[in-house]
Structure 1
Amino acid sequence: MDRVRVAVQAADPITLAGLTSYLNTRSELYLLPSNAEADADVIVYAVDRVNAKVLAELRQSAQQVSVPRVLVTNELNPADVLAAVESRVVAVLPRTAATGTRLINSVVAAAEGGGVMPPDLLGELLKQIDHLQREVLTPRGLSASGLTNREVDVLRLMADGMDTAEIAQKLCYSERTVKNVIYGVTSRLNLRNRPHAVAYAMRAGAI
Structure 2
Amino acid sequence: MKNIIEVIKADKRIIVFIGIAVVIILGGSIYAYYNSEEKVIERLVKENPRGEEFAKIIADSQSKLNESGLSLKEKIDALLSSAVAKEALGDRKGAIEDYKAVLELNTAHPIARNNLAGLYTLMGRYEDAEYQYLAIIATQPKIFEGYIKLAELYSGYFKEKESLVPAVLSYAIEQNGTQPAFVEKLAQYYYDKQLYVQALEQVERLLQIDPSSEFGKAMIEDIRQKS
Bin the TM-score by the shorter chain.
0.3 to 0.5
TM-score (norm 2): 0.32
TM-score (norm 1): 0.34
Higher helix proportion, which one? 2
